[in-house]
Structure 1
């Protein structure tokens, strides 16, 4: 195709509002721009990084919750599911000086989060312990005696 590639003409010029691909291109461009700032601003939520470990007597779940306050965390148990949810508050600040050429911009993402884990046994809510320290939530779930006895190792050949 003379004067440009077929992909460029299909994708469209950013100024061409009649082309249906222009809106798609703007959305994709926006997605990549927001990615550098963190996707939470886009979705109103953020991913909770967590680890799950296990011993013969308990399951332990740790979740990284930087910038979240203890009062904004909720841990609940329903049958064999444990749910961690909460909210991170937003903080935006912009400062500007024209003559001293000093510009500052501080942004922090905000949103809600929820993480649910299903276990192969009924959870006794009275025995679950949750501890929040230095932005890390640690939830310890003791296994009932029956769950430990039912576990059998299978030999891999």
Structure 2
């Protein structure tokens, strides 16, 4: 069985369909997500919007004594953030509440609603000493490394003879 081959492909931007440049490149993804949501709802039922959380942007770095997780949470108050550990998993949860506005919102691109960030911690960390600090819209979580035996070279010395004679 042979598959059909499309022979007339547009090769230049002038041959693109009308309206190509005026389209929002993310509109197709939005349409696809809406279609997938509709399909999911039709098969398993409706999902409560509050149960769906988005994941904020974050960086995880490591230095000699700790891991640092920096999570971007602009406009979030520290009192609206929960940081928990469950075994080797660190979970950051919270909610960005939508502001009451006057007038008509013409364009909105800021995220609102529940958010959740999860990261698996290495086994050798001190979970009792984890600290979290919010500054300038960035939550910085410091996870100290546990003190473990480190590699150490031991010098071997020559035993000095005390002048005893054998035999």
Output the TM-score relative to the length of structure 1: 0.57
Tell me, yes or no, if the aligned pair for 1:80 and 1:119 is still in contact at 8 Å. yes
| Alignment partner of 2:55 out of 44, 47, 54 | 47
Identify the structure with the greater strand proportion: 1
- 2:6 maps to what in 1? none
Q: 2:161: which partner in 1? A: none
Counterpart Cα distance in 2 of 1:119 and 1:66: 25
Give the secondary-structure state (helix, strand or coil) at the position aligned to 2:79.
helix
Counterpart of 2:136 in structure 1 is: 134
**Higher Rg of the two aligned structures:** 2
Structure 2: runs of 5 or more not aligned: 1-27, 35-48, 152-167
Q: How many residues of Structure 1 are paired with residues of Structure 2 in the alignment?
A: 109
CA apart distance, 1:125? 3.1
Q: Matched residues in 2 for 1:80 and 1:60: separation? A: 15
Larger helix share, 1 or 2 = 1
Equivalent residues of 1:86, 1:114 under 8 A apart = yes
Cα pair distance change 1:54/1:92, threshold 3 Å: same
Q: For structure 1, which runs of at least 5 residues remain unmatched after alignment?
A: 1-24, 32-40, 97-103, 151-157
